[in-house]
């Protein structure tokens, strides 16, 4: 579904990610883990067209989207749940969700928006309870649910999530990851960027480790969880001496 080959991207002349190659297959959760500054958010911004790559290729659902604009990429079926949630604070929960469904109108399928809204409320009952509240008045966990729900209103083939656990309490993180698992069980394909490496890899099918803009490790989630370097750098375990 998503294939990235030798991607180089950054800001002006600053190369943040260098020769990154990853692949996401339909129905998978693929996790990208790495420390702050590793280039994870830059990678997602480049995939969604918010940043133009310096070189390399991005293919989505068989199409070259390397230099495609963001609106068209969303219309093709690739949605982003951004870092920090970025809900529209002065708008209500319902208005935020309806805005997420604007692509259905662009596809001449506006009639499905209310049906999709009902589905999101079923998935996130708390959002239905707060339908008329301003998004800025929600808790952090509720805002994260809203950000996920808004992305799902576009009926994406691929949903990318940037640090969905950031700033949330442990019990809320558990709930958010449970929702991500539920989305996958319903057939969603997910690219998950996370600093919470243990939780992300326990959820994922496969994973990549990004360090200083480069993929230094890749493999099944189980392989990465058992890798000594990953344990030492990201799981808080001391590497065994030989």
Per-residue model confidence as pLDDT tens digits over 102-115: 888 888 787 889 99
Query: Has residue 53 been placed in a domain?
Result: yes
In this prediction, residue 67 has a pLDDT band, given cuts at 50, 70 and 90, of: very high
3-class SS of residue 84: coil
Query: Has residue 26 been placed in a domain?
Result: yes
pLDDT digits (tens, 9 = 90+) for 20-30: 999 999 999 99
pLDDT digits (tens, 9 = 90+) for 203-227: 999 999 999 999 999 999 999 999 9
Q: How far apart are CA 171 and CA 102, in angstroms?
A: 32
The residue range of the domain holding 47 is 2-87+159-234
Query: Has residue 131 been placed in a domain?
Result: no
Query: Has residue 241 been placed in a domain?
Result: no
Short-list 84, 88, 172, 167, CA closest to 133? 88
Q: How many domains does the chain have?
A: 1
Query: Has residue 214 been placed in a domain?
Result: yes
pLDDT digits (tens, 9 = 90+) for 149-194: 999 999 999 999 999 999 889 999 999 999 899 998 888 999 999 8
pLDDT at 36: 86
CATH of the domain at 175: 3.40.50.300
């Amino acid at each position: 579904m998503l294939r990235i080959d030798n991607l180089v991207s950054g800001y002006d002349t600053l190369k943040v990610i260098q020769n990154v190659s990853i692949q996401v297959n339909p129905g998978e959760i693929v996790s990208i883990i790495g420390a702050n500054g590793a280039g994870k958010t830059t990678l997602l911004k480049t995939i969604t067209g918010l940043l133009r790559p310096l070189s390399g290729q991005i293919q989505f659902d068989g199409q070259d989207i390397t230099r495609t604009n963001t609106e068209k990429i969303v219309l093709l079926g690739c949605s982003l749940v951004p870092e920090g949630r970025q809900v529209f604070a002065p708008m209500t929960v319902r208005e935020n969700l309806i805005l997420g469904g604007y692509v259905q109108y662009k596809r001449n399928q506006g009639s499905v928006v209310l049906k999709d809204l009902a589905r999101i409320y079923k998935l996130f009952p708390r959002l239905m309870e707060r339908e008329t509240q301003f998004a800025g008045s929600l808790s952090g966990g509720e805002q994260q649910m809203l950000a996920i729900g808004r992305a799902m209103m576009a009926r994406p083939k691929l949903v990318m999530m940037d640090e969905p656990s950031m700033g949330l309490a442990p019990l809320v993180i558990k709930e958010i990851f449970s929702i991500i698992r539920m989305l996958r069980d319903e057939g969603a394909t997910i690219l998950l960027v996370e600093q919470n490496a243990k939780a992300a890899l326990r959820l994922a099918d496969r994973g990549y480790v990004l360090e200083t803009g480069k993929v230094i490790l890749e493999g099944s989630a189980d392989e990465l969880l058992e890798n000594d370097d990953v344990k030492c750098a990201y799981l808080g375990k001391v590497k065994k001496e030989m």
